[in-house]
Structure 1
Amino acid sequence: MNRIIKLSLIFVLFVFINPSALLGQIIDLSQAKIISLKKQDPLVLNAINILQEEISKRSNITLTKGSKFPNRSQRAIVIGLENGLDKFPLEYRQFLATMPDIKAEGYKIAVIPKKNVVLVVGNDSRGVLYGIGKLLRKLELSQGQILLPSDLNIASSPAYPIRGHQLGYRPKTNSYDAFSVEQFDNYIRDLVIFGANSIEIMPPRTDDDFTSVHMKLPAIEMIVEQSKICDKYGMDVWMWYPNLGSDYTSSDSLKLEIEERRKVFKAVPRLDALFVPGGDPGDLEPDELFSWLEKEAEVLHEYHPNAKIWVSPQVFRPTNAWFETFYEHVNKEYPWFGGIVFGPWIKTPIKEIRERLNPGIPIRRYPDITHSLSSQYPIPHWDLAYAITLGRECINPRPNDQKIIHNAFDQYAQGSISYSEGTNDDVNKMIWSDQDWDPKTPVMETLRDYARYFIGPNYKETVSHGLMALEKNLQGPLLTNDGVIRTLQQWQNLEKNATKEVLGNFRFQMGLIRAYFDAYQYRRMIYETELEQQAREILSTAKVIGTIDAIEKAMKTLYKAKQQPIMSEWKNRCYALANDLFESIGAQLTVGKHFAAAGRGNFIDNIDVPLNDGMWLIDQLSLIEKNGDEADKLKAIANLLERNNPGPGGYYDNFGTPASWSRVVSNYSYEEDPGGLKSPRVSFGVGLRGEEWVHEITAVGFDGHTTPLSWMNQVTALYDEPLKMVYPDLDPKGSYLIRVGYTGRFRSKIRLMAENIMIHDFITTGDRPIYEFKVPANALEDGILELEWSCGEGERGSQVSEIWIINQDELNKK
């Protein structure tokens, strides 16, 4: 026992003299010097400034810079290039030589044992920049302290040469239009630190308003500043430039288009590539498109002679003839042509595009990381309650989904520049940059770097897990997801103990507001579901208490959702955080107060959208109350309560429920087809009477009356991909009707077949919601009904919201 006590005292004394021992091989760089022998490389010098400035911001320590190697006792961060290692001490060179080789833009970070010296060596100037970025992500920076794990030895090169994000300065975005030049500089620097090497900007004229109340500078001036910022960081500058002219064959129209581009191309100091979408917006036939691109290239090369033009086969209503002509042009490999961009609303899977291209033609991905529904990669099987509140463009950290989406197709492309509409997808940007650098990077590693660097080392575990929890909030039915409350509790604990600086950090605010918002919707979902059930139970007693009394009591119960709301303190916290985000980063979460573009990032406007069928029930009950005698009213109430009942031996499905999806046939997993190009996907919207729903889901959509929630949620197959469902255990000799709801975001011409037998020929959806057809008897010979919907060529897809399979024989017995 005495020996144990003695050893313990020795250990305590050792820790007292050397407290870093408890930290687990941590070196203290608080008094280190930044050493660089590269005196004339502007990118390296700027990278060193970034290191010095970002350390100073977070630690309040400004490390001095020098050009001579440190003495034996001096702690140092030594910056260099591989082609300048001959000036390094032999010990340093020998250590670096034991590490794996690096390629273009790659770097080595090494801690020299017993020297307290950190080496950051780039294969090239960009490599130095990304090495410094990685070092900053791994440093433990707090007030008065700079710590680093002593075993941080990394040799890394990017897997893909294109790694970037679109930062469009236009009103349609949820925050970028409010950025100042300084904010763009800071945000682009953040992206660089996470490995981005490209930024895509937009011209002043896009498919949007020309200006907004938020803009600090005219668009033409801001894109000049964005280009300058990127050049300072050695980044490639891309420009997304759609074809919005009225006529690309008219000489007068072409002259206007050419002059506009000349003005834009002349203004920006750096432009490495132009991305022209084939459509969305600016649909042109391929011959016309490529003829125009050749003229555009001439103007582009007047000011940026090495820039290339990339193009996407992006078109809303594609035909085989369009694609055939498009790829004929692409494979000619015009001298100005850079490559193909794979983005939203492209019908052909990227693997098939790769097979149609000449081997040397590169593909760049244009992933939509910013939208949660009606998008390239919607949240799979998303609960309708979230769809109608969080909406299309909410704050949407989806780290695991982003890795799945990235890794499903990364091998077919040279990297990506993401489609972004603002800061709402901030976490997703960092995930994509890390995956484009190394697809094997664990998601949690990126999230820990994100939390450590942007929030602080004390938040490395808590915030990273908190962001993971926000993604889990969105998975599965909300009504049964009790993890939503635990997520809020975790974020509230962080909020309670956070410093003023952290509470003012927009990245922390974004996570916090989502935690409150999700929990508020969860509690409302439980509350409003119960209120609807109570109202239905009251209506079921109408025969006893009288229809007028039942209607009055049921409506009063349904109105409680608005008149007696719950958890108002959570809603008020969301409002306060929305104001905070507007102040901290220009995030526009409401139209009225923050002047958001409607349907973009303004999910706080939807915070109290009803989550039950109360509005529809009240609307229907008002009609019943005014019409018919007591018997008519009783019958109408019974029909209302029995609406979703298919009768004995039947089926009812609406595609906001997991059970209904079990009858949908899919040959691909989410990991194989996250974009749903070959498999069914979830969609939302009503879109009746030819009105296409794009950004916001509305409950009013048919003959001036509210619609049931079931009309807002569909199973969808895109383009002419067939949509299949199977209904087993039917009576082979029975007589069946199929009643089907055709609602959704867009109109389509669709046909329904059963066992290769036509149920109905092509009809255009959107004129009315519900159709009814007889099921052919010979489609039921084996007791299994196999349904298949298909669209004609050039259509946007099949959408089905509800299905009743009704056994007429059993119904007649009833």
Structure 2
Amino acid sequence: MRNIPKKHLIAFSLLLFITGNGFAQMLNFSNSKIICFDKKDRLVQKSVSVLKEEIEKKSSIELPVSNKWNKSNLPVIAIGIEGQLSGFPESVQEMIADMPATKNEGYKIAVDKQSNSVVIAGHDSRGVLYGVGKLLRKMELRSGEILVPEDLNISSSPAYPIRGHQLGYRPKTNAYDAWTPEQFDTYIRDLAIFGANSIEIMPPHTDDDFTSEHMKFPAIKMIAEQAKICDSYGMDVWMWYPNMGSDYTHPDSIKKELNERHEVFAAVKRLDHLFVPGGDPGDLEPDILFSWLEQEAKVLHQYHPNAKIWVSPQVFRPTQEWFDAFYGHVNNKYDWFGGVVFGPWIKTPIAEIRKIIGPDIPIRRYPDITHSLSCQYPIPGWDLAYAITLGRECINPRPTDEKMIHNAFDQLAQGSISYSEGSNDDVNKMVWSDQDWDPETPVIETLRDYARYLISPDYTEEVAQGIMTLEKNIQGSLLTNTAVLNTLYQWQEMEKSAPEDLKRNPRFQMGLLRACFDAYQYRRLIYETELENKALEILSSAEYMGSNNALNQATTTLIKAKTAPVYPELKYRCYDLADSLFNSIGAQLTIEKHGAMSGRGNFIDNIDLPLNNVMWLLDQFSVIEKISSEKNRLLAIEEILERTNPGPGGFYDNFGTPASWSRIKSDVNWLEDPGNLKSPRESFGVGLRGEEWVHEVNAKGFEGKSSPIAWMNQVTTLYDQPLEIVYENLDPKSSYTIRVAYTGRFRSRMKLMADEILVHDFLQTGIQPIYEFQVPQKAISDGEVIFRWTCGEGERGSQVSEIWLIKK
């Protein structure tokens, strides 16, 4: 008997004997063979190879392949294209014929007890591959055993024709640049098994370095390998190709760019579609952009005559004039034009794009499934502690979020190819592929398939539910999320009972790493919050114990986060798992040890970043210590203690807290607008003095000029969407001053109105944090005021981190 934990044996025994109520009896196909009559269709033959190889890899059973269906009682797995099953038993043909009809790329799977067989009948060649993938996902493959659910009778076709993911071989990715062609083949196969039919690759020249220390092949050679691999699975090859030239109007610059395209397009065996972003990077005016695309298309068609060019209206600082020109070109219906791509940093909601462009022009989604903040679909209500530590590109399974994001707009597009930067979004990829195939698929079904096929059938339910708990870890306030420790205990219990091969499985390790990391941050946040509160209590006694003594004791208390850390064993377990993931799949989770790029997946580097105001407080202490007068030192300490105090009758709001968000006015909720094109979102980063891309606190030592941690959080609206914040129960007979902190990633020109009365005209943010303005008396005469921030045209958005409404 194989080494399976007792609890799993009990569950497995029940599974064998119980039918109904969602439980299916498993049929033993360990002594079966594979039958396929087709000898000519290369994709059908590839599907047979996939089935045979994956079964052998996971069960150590090598199934024979035959083109004859004999009358022995041995079970068979039969593969073919529907309409070409004349050699199959009549009972099989009748069963397949009676099942609902399929469409392009669809398949039927039937278990026929009469012929002792499971049959995969593809609508076409691709359908055979996806039928094989579905069978593999539902099988239980263990060492020496192949089990098939008795009730596995499926007729299925994809809802959308475009289903894929971007696998860019470049240094910015957190893993892909370390992969070999064999690793890409394995991963592309996994994606195909979950329904993907497209892979998007990148040219060597992007907004990135040409090479990295991890690359084993030049990029031009690797993209040739990627295209060859995709073609072997019959998958479409897309290429994301930004415009990185210096000038697309000068003949010399255009010639250089065209020569580069000749080299790249000639290098790949297959290229079905070219995606050229309108910006991010490579901003061009629409007239210049489409003139260039016309020339690019001529080169493209020399090597790939049927390839189409798709383009996106991505632009960081958009104007209406730019959009009018862009959509005018889109509706011109160039013969080389494929469609519009909807992705990050597109101002126009996809529903509006659908109305603007011709009904026959397809839209492809380009969802950012890889980032958690400063992105297309940030985690709603994310805790600042996670934003600081997990950062922008952590291991980020978000199954329920991804389904909701997908289903919010799926009917408006022809499918999607995701924006991915590496292995961190692995779960999200499988969820998106499953949703593009069938938006009605419950995410738990995808997760069970993921766990059963990619990790272990003996831990199907445990891992599937464990991934769900990881998503719950990052929802809402971390300080009060006691379930984080339960998530840790569940993953640790799985690890204790797991066999060695499971413990070494990178996908299992990614889940375990996040469980450990999250629990460590939870314990640290509780600890460091208490340390700050104790330090402030000490400062409040400074008048009695002396300012210098109070400062010294407060300092000693604050730095206990370093001198007496909490739960260090969890941190070191994270380090071990990060090393293992680097060695197995090239995951680059630290800069120094694993060679990651800053801000690109190196969240382990952030594991001990402060979660309280320690850096700002210590900086303030160093200033106060230089004050010669005890009286003035005490006054400075009092300013620290009362930094957020708006005074009697006043109001204070920190928009990193749920309570303050209750003041924000919005008619659109997250489920309707997950990209926040019409609704406010949380943002992170101080962004002062021109530092646009700040996602974490700089914590080397605790030295350096620092900001209050409240400045790391903002309420944000994108582009010229108004930001409205409401204050009620004001004294209509009093006057008020608004003190406001303008921090954040954007350096926008913002204007503030109070009930349509000007408070301040457009001013440039990012230069200083705090501004004060008199609130017009007329605006508060009814005891309520709506503050309304707007940006000028072409700006990236309004951001507010703190408000003091001070009663005079």
Deviation at 1:695, TM superposition (A): 5.0
Equivalent position of 2:534 in the other structure: 534
Please name the residue that 2:359 is paired with. 359
Which residue does the alignment assign to 2:97? 97
User: For each residue in 1:573-600, what CA deviation from the matched residue of structure 2 results, as whole angstroms up to 9, or x when unmatched?
Assistant: 0000000000110000000000001111
Is the CA contact 1:738–1:775 (under 8 Å) kept in the aligned structure 2?
Answer: yes
Q: What is the Cα deviation at residue 654 of structure 1?
A: 1.0
| 1:690 counterpart residue number | 690
Tell me what 1:69 maps to.
69
- 1:129-168 CA deviation, whole Å, 9 max, x = no partner? 0000000000011011101111110000000000000000
What is the identity, as a one-letter code, of the residue corresponding to 2:83? N
Partner of 1:751: 751
Give the distance between the partners of 1:697 and 1:359, measured in 2 at CA.
Answer: 47
- For 1:763 and 1:699, locate their aligned partners in 2 and report how far apart those are by CA, in whole Å: 31
Structure 1 pair 369–711 and aligned structure 2 pair: CA distance change class (3 A): same
User: 1:659 is aligned with what amino acid?
Assistant: A
Q: Secondary structure at the match of 2:559?
A: helix
Contact 1:392 1:696 in 2 (8 A): no
Contact 2:732 2:780 in 1 (8 A): yes
Following superposition of structure 1 onto structure 2, how do residues 238-277 of structure 1 map, counting pairs within 5 Å? 238-277=238-277
Quick one: distance in 1 between partners of 2:237 and 2:698?
39
Q: How does 1:607-646 map to 2 (within 5 A)?
A: 607-646=607-646
Q: Distance in 2 between matches of 1:278 and 1:70?
A: 59
Q: Could you tell me which residue of structure 2 aligns to residue 796 of structure 1?
A: 796
CA distance in 1 between partners of 2:100 and 2:92 (Å): 15
Distance 1:60 1:152 in 2: 23
Once the two structures are superposed, the pairs formed by residues 361-380 of structure 1 within 5 Å of their partners are: 361-380=361-380
Pairs within 5 Å for 1:8-27 = 24-27=24-27
Corresponding residue of 2:288: 288
Contact 2:247 2:254 in 1 (8 A): yes
Contact 1:191–1:430 under 8 Å retained in 2: yes
Residue 566 (str. 1) matches residue 570 (str. 2):
no
Tell me the equivalent position of 2:8: none
User: Separation in 1 of the partners of 2:114 and 2:101?
Assistant: 24
In the alignment, the residues of structure 2 paired with residue 632 and residue 183 of structure 1 have an alpha-carbon distance, to the nearest angstrom, of 65
The answer (yes or no) to whether the contact 1:751–1:790 under 8 Å persists in 2 is yes
User: Contact (CA 8 Å) 1:790, 1:798: kept in 2 or not?
Assistant: yes
**Mapped pair 1:493 → 2:507:** no
* Mapped pair 1:760 → 2:747: no
Contact 2:724 2:788 (C-alpha < 8 Å) held by counterparts: yes
Quote the residue 2:9 is aligned against: none
Q: Distance in 1 between matches of 2:676 and 2:378?
A: 9
Q: CA deviation at 1:704?
A: 5.6
Question: Is 1:684–1:697's contact at 8 Å kept on the other side of the alignment?
Answer: no
- Confirm whether residue 735 of structure 1 aligns to residue 751 of structure 2: no
Superposed CA offset, 1:554-588 (max 9, x none)? 01100111111011100000000000000110000
User: Percent identity among equivalent residues?
Assistant: 67
Contact 1:313–1:342 (Cα < 8 Å) also in 2: yes
Query: Could you tell me which residue of structure 2 aligns to residue 338 of structure 1?
Result: 338
Q: Which residue number corresponds to residue 3 of structure 1? A: none
Deviates more, 1:791-800 or 1:69-78: 69-78
User: Partner of 2:585 in structure 1?
Assistant: 585
Structure 1 residues 19 and 429, CA gap change in structure 2 (3 angstroms): closer
In the alignment, the residues of structure 2 paired with residue 83 and residue 328 of structure 1 have an alpha-carbon distance, to the nearest angstrom, of 45
* Alpha-carbon contact 2:372-2:378 (below 8 Å) kept: yes
Which region of structure 1 is more displaced relative to structure 2, 613-622 or 107-116? 107-116
1:206 touches 1:244 (CA, 8 Å); kept in 2? yes
2:48 maps to which residue? Answer: 48
Q: Is the 8 A contact 2:24 2:151 kept in 1?
A: no
Structure 1 gaps, min length 5: 1-14, 809-814
Q: If the length of structure 2 is used for normalisation, what is the TM-score?
A: 0.97
**Is the contact between residue 389 and residue 696 of structure 2 (CA under 8 Å) also seen in structure 1?**
no
Q: What TM-score comes out, normalization by structure 1 length?
A: 0.96
Which stretch of structure 1 is more off in the superposition, 68-77 or 382-391?
68-77
Q: Secondary structure at the match of 1:85?
A: coil
Question: Does the 8 Å contact 1:732/1:782 carry over to 2?
Answer: yes
CA drift at 1:86: 3.0
Q: How does 1:378-397 map to 2 (within 5 A)?
A: 378-397=378-397
- Specify the SS of the correspondent of 1:596: coil
Tell whether the 8 Å contact from 1:167 to 1:421 is kept in structure 2 after alignment: yes
Equivalent pair of 1:167/1:176 in contact (CA under 8 Å):
yes
CA contact 2:609–2:697 (8 Å) conserved in 1: no
| Shift in CA distance, 41/568, structure 1 to aligned 2, threshold 3 Å | same
CA apart distance, 1:20: 6.2
Structure 1 residues 240-270: Cα deviation after superposition (integer angstroms, max 9, x where no partner)? 0000000000000000000000000001010
Structure-1 separation of matches of 2:389 and 2:459: 29
Is the 8 Å Cα contact of residues 654 and 660 (structure 1) preserved in structure 2? yes
Deviation, 1:373, is 0.1
8 Å contact from structure 1 (residues 588, 594) kept in 2: yes
Q: Give the conservation status (yes or no) of the 8 Å contact 2:388–2:695.
A: no
Q: In the aligned structure 2, how far is the partner of 1:381 from the partner of 1:761?
A: 30
Question: Is contact 2:682-2:713 (8 Å) kept?
Answer: yes
How far did 1:647 drift?
1.2
1:350 is displaced (CA, Å) by: 0.1
Note the C-alpha offset of 1:422.
Answer: 0.1
Q: Deviations 1:470-510 (Å, cap 9, x if unpaired)?
A: 00000011100010000000000011111111111110010
Q: Given that residues 89 and 115 in structure 2 are in contact (C-alpha distance below 8 angstroms), is that contact kept between their aligned partners in structure 1?
A: no
SS in 1 for 2:301: helix
After superposition, what is the alpha-carbon deviation per residue over 1:692-723, rounded to whole angstroms, capped at 9, x for unaligned?
A: 125545479xx961101000100000000000
Q: CA deviation at 1:21?
A: 7.1
Could you list the per-position Cα deviations for residues 255-295 of structure 1 after superposition, in whole angstroms to 9, with x for gaps in the alignment?
00000000000010100000000000000000000000000
Deviation at residue 667 of structure 1 after TM alignment: 1.1
Superposed CA deviations along residues 403-438 of structure 1, whole A, max 9, x for unmatched, are 000000001000000000000000000000000000
SS at match of 1:705: coil
Deviation per CA, 1:677-700, whole angstroms, max 9, x where unpaired?
000001011111112125545479
Check whether the contact 1:600–1:695 (CA below 8 A) recurs between aligned residues: no
CA deviation profile, 1:7-46 (whole Å, cap 9, x unmatched): xxxxxxxx99x97679852210000110011111110001
Q: Quote the RMSD (CA, aligned, Å).
A: 1.5
CA distance in 1: counterparts of 2:628 and 2:764, whole angstroms: 34
Residue 191 of structure 1 corresponds to 191
Partner residue of 2:515? 515
Aligned to 2:402: 402
The SS at the match of 1:221 is helix
- Contact 2:686-2:694 at 8 Å conserved across structures: no
1:32 equivalent in structure 2: 32
Q: Structure 2 unaligned runs (5+)? A: 1-11
Is the 2:725–2:786 Cα contact (8 Å) retained in structure 1?
A: yes
Matched length: 792
Q: Distance in 1 between matches of 2:283 and 2:757?
A: 36
> How far apart are the structure 2 equivalents of 1:569 and 1:167?
35
- Per-residue Cα deviation, 1:757-803 (whole angstroms, up to 9, x for no partner): 01100000011000000000000011011110000000000000110
Farther-moved stretch of structure 1 (49-58 vs 690-699): 690-699
- Provide the secondary structure at the position in 1 that maps to 2:595: coil
Aligned to 2:221: 221
Displacement of 1:115: 3.4
Question: Once the two structures are superposed, what CA deviation does each residue of 1:99-119 show, in whole Å capped at 9, x if it has no partner?
Answer: 110000000000013433101
Determine the C-alpha separation between the residues in 2 that align with 1:88 and 1:500. Answer: 42
Secondary structure of 2:322's aligned partner: helix
Q: Secondary structure at the match of 1:644?
A: coil
The within-5 A match list for 1:718-733 is 718-733=718-733
Contact 1:20–1:27 (CA<8 Å) still a contact in 2?
no
| C-alpha distance in 2 between matches for 1:726 and 1:619 | 34
One-letter amino acid of the counterpart of residue 545, structure 2: I
Q: Distance in 2 between matches of 1:640 and 1:247?
A: 52
Which moves more between the two structures, 20-29 or 357-366? Answer: 20-29
Provide the rounded CA distance (Å) in 1 between the counterparts of 2:794 and 2:524: 41
1:714 maps to 714
CA deviation vs aligned residue, 1:375-428 (integer Å, no higher than 9, x gap): 000000110000000000000000000000000000100000000000000000
Matched residue type, 2:155: A
Distance 1:247 1:695, change over 3 A: farther
